[in-house]
Amino acid sequence: MDFDAIVIGGGHAGIEACLSVSRLGFKTLLITQSLDAIGRLSCNPAVGGLSKGNIVREVDALGGEMARLIDASMIQFRILNRRKGPAVQAPRAQADKFLYSSLAKRTLEHEPGLSIFQDTVTDLLVSASGREIQGVVTERGNTITSSVVVLTTGTFMEGKIFIGEYQASSGRLGEPAAVGLGTNLRKRGFRVGRMKTGTPARVARSSIDFSKMEIQEGDEEMLPFSFSEKKINRPSVPCYITFTNSGTHGVINTNMFRSPLYGGDIVGKGPRYCPSLEDKVVRFPDRDRHQIFVEPEGLESEEMYLNGISTSLPEDVQIDFLRTIPGLENVVIMRPGYAVEYDYMDPTQLYPWLETKNISGLFVAGQTNGTSGYEEAACQGLVAGINAGLKLQKKEPLVLSRTDSYTGVLIDDLVTLGTEEPYRMFTSRAEYRLNLRHDSADIRLLPIGYRAGLQSRENMDRLNEKIKGIEEIRELLDKRRVKEKDLENLPEDYKIHVGKSFSRILKNPDASLEDLIPLEPELSRYPSRWVTHAGLDVKYEGYIKRQNQQVSRFKRMEKMKIPPDFNYDSVEGISSESREKLKAIRPLSLGQASRISGVRNSDIAVLMVLIGRKGGGRGD
């Protein structure tokens, strides 16, 4: 074998995959089409956001790189939804995308045991039985062997971009597609489909009149995504907000016939949740305006990103409709918006550890699995990389649960339900999101990362210190009561709380921890994020308790395991539709089986009886 592991693709999934296998001690090769494109933020220059910010922290806790990369390249930081509940608050940072990408490349280059090579993979090397991976074959005719392969092709597998009538075989504007691999995967029996996504125009900063836009500053404090209590000291630059108007929509409606989306040229399904401006105008005819965030692409860059109006209309139409927008009257386009259509693999062909069921040793992650977003890609890349490493170590795979992480939710959704459109994470996809707060990712997952071999002893010790500190703070909150004389330093409405403990008062929706902290000097001994963490735990204690009941109900079903080779054909009494679905998905537990769409409750009951009796198998 030339290498233990080969990772195909140097995007956000590929970075995490190659770093994690390599860090687990395996000789790893990253093959990418362009060394200059490693870690590119192809779409918006930002990392994090609702649920995505949680994922970045999860990647960090498990031992991934994304959090450190954004920490070192952020140019604005905000905690979103401070006014809303704790489960739906999340960090988001604007990135200097050029800096992000070069940091990513440097990180890979400095990783011992990791080689990087520029080439394009066109086919897999597979054993004679067709069931085991052996390496890859490239466009330039190189044959490179390895025991495991992680496939992270992003939008490049048979990628095709569209700008009005213009079409080109590319994965990103100006970058050629990877041709051949998709066709070969189809030949090997994989279900491969088409998806579509899009990006807006990048425009020249100097051509924008910011005085006509609303300014959006970041938070004063820049907090790290990574496991650290240190503040970040980096420049913070603003974003701007403007809106489309009926004039904009008029231009789009008039030229709709020139859109490749409506001309039938694009067959792949686009993301419903991140529609192009054409889609928005068609689907929401009643809305007279749509919001645009104008975001810097980097500190040194002239390019500005127009978040919210991705488009694949012809370039002349793009400039026409942009110039109807306040502040963009004289705008100059530097890169046009475009749509990209690419091959993805039906993710139900994977086990929850992201290995294909058909070819042992072949792992797939990121957009190739039908997801959208850097964070979604990164967490899959990491899980695929860890599992590739565990396979090389001949250890049991790591399967994350819906109850411990958004990453677990994402992967379970993909491998159980598949996806028809680019899958984007939302907090609502996580049933147990109260337990998946961004500030608890380290507590939830760092020990798992440590056991997998990607986290240091030092970080574990720091985590235990943090857990202990939070417990102490909670005790303080339980003990400390509001006294008569505290009222001088409290808002009027705290009068009714005299004599009650802080914990009790916090459970009141109107009470806030910020009001109470100054009263108790002991609390200032702890890092403020610990205090906030403990405060939220206390405030939502009742909800968290009930959530935990839901979790234990859920876990009872997950604990009933089904062997991957369970013979569904021998089971009498289940509907044939369910049988086919169960055979295709091969769920690993009754819980997972019950989430497959179209599998009936009564079929689960049958399985429950059989599994419970024999631990699987029919035993006639």
Partner 1 sequence: MKDLFYDTREPIAALATPWGESALAVVRTTGDGSVEKFAELFSSPGKILTAEGFTMHYGYLLDPSSGIEVDQITAAVYKAPRSYTGQDSVEIFCHGSLPGIKSILKALQKGGFREAAPGEFTLRAFLNGKMDLSQAEAVAEIIDAKSVRAHNLALNRLSGGVFKRINSIKNELTQFMSAVEVQLDYPDDEIGGDTVLPSDAVKKALESIQELINSFEIGVLYREGITVALAGGTNAGKSSLFNLFLREDRSIVSEIDGTTRDYIESWITLQGLPVRLFDTAGLRDAQHPVEKEGIKRSNEIIANSALVLYLIDGQSGMSDADKKVVEENRNNRRYLFVWNKIDTKAAETPSWAVGVSALSSEGFTVLENEIVERIMGSRHSASDVMIDSLRQKNLLERSLEALNRVKEGVDTGVSLDGVAMDLKDALDALGEITGEVTSDEILNNIFSNFCVGK
Closest CB to partner 1 among residues 88, 365: 88
Structure tokens at 326: 């306040």
Closest CB to partner 1 among residues 15, 274: 274
Q: Is 451 in the site for partner 1 (CB under 8 A)?
A: no
Q: Is 560 in the site for partner 1 (CB under 8 A)?
A: yes
| Burial of residue 506, with CB atoms counted within 10 A of its CB: 0-12 exposed, 13-18 middle, 19 or more buried | buried
Among 112, 264, 509, 521, binds partner 1 (CB under 8 A): 509
The residue range among 33-41, 154-162, 177-185, 570-578 that interacts with partner 1, by the rule CB under 8 A, is: 570-578
Min separation Cβ 295 and partner 1, Å: 13
Min separation Cβ 542 and partner 1, Å: 8
Under 8 Å between Cβ of 35 and 418: no
Among 433, 444, 480, 586, binds partner 1 (CB under 8 A): 433
Among 204, 460, 557, 584, binds partner 1 (CB under 8 A): 557
Under 8 Å between Cβ of 484 and 494: no
**Among residue numbers 591 through 610, which ones bind partner 1 (CB under 8 A)?**
594, 600-602, 604-606, 608-609
Structure tokens at 233: 């000291």
**Among residue numbers 236 through 275, which ones bind partner 1 (CB under 8 A)?**
241
Q: Cα–chain-centroid distance for residue 43?
A: 14
**Among residue numbers 188 through 217, which ones bind partner 1 (CB under 8 A)?**
216
Structure tokens at 188: 């090997």
Among 49, 171, 418, 535, binds partner 1 (CB under 8 A): 49
Q: Is 150 in the site for partner 1 (CB under 8 A)?
A: no
Q: Is 428 in the site for partner 1 (CB under 8 A)?
A: yes
Closest CB to partner 1 among residues 177, 599: 599
φ and ψ at 418, to 5 degrees? 70, -175
In 222-284, DSSP assigns E strands to 239-243
Report the DSSP beta bridge partners of residue 29: 6, 115
Q: Is 419 in the site for partner 1 (CB under 8 A)?
A: no
Closest CB to partner 1 among residues 101, 419: 419
Distance CA 70, CA 55 (A): 13
Q: Is 570 in the site for partner 1 (CB under 8 A)?
A: no
Under 8 Å between Cβ of 390 and 22: no
Give me the helix-helix angle, 528-539 and 541-559, nearest 10°.
80
Q: What angle (nearest 5°) sits at the alpha carbon of residue 558, between those of residues 365 and 63?
A: 40
Min separation Cβ 82 and partner 1, Å: 9
Distance CA 414, CA 408 (A): 10
Closest CB to partner 1 among residues 26, 293: 293
Distance CA 167, CA 312 (A): 10
Structure tokens at 263: 């001309």
Min separation Cβ 524 and partner 1, Å: 26
Q: Is 430 in the site for partner 1 (CB under 8 A)?
A: no
The residue range among 85-93, 142-150, 245-253, 409-417 that interacts with partner 1, by the rule CB under 8 A, is: 85-93
Characterize the bridge pairing of strands 338-345 and 160-163: antiparallel
φ and ψ at 84, to 5 degrees? -90, 180
Structure tokens at 418: 């598949």
Q: Is 585 in the site for partner 1 (CB under 8 A)?
A: no
φ and ψ at 284, to 5 degrees? -125, 65
If you ran DSSP here, which 8-state letter would residue 454 be given? Answer: -
Distance CA 211, CA 322 (A): 16
The residue range among 110-118, 262-270, 446-454, 556-564 that interacts with partner 1, by the rule CB under 8 A, is: 556-564
Q: Is 294 in the site for partner 1 (CB under 8 A)?
A: no
Min separation Cβ 510 and partner 1, Å: 7
- Binding footprint of partner 1 on the chain (CB under 8 A): 49-50, 80-81, 83-88, 92, 216, 241, 291, 426-428, 431, 433-434, 509-510, 540, 543, 546-547, 550, 553, 556-557, 560, 572-574, 590, 594, 600-602, 604-606, 608-609, 612-613, 620
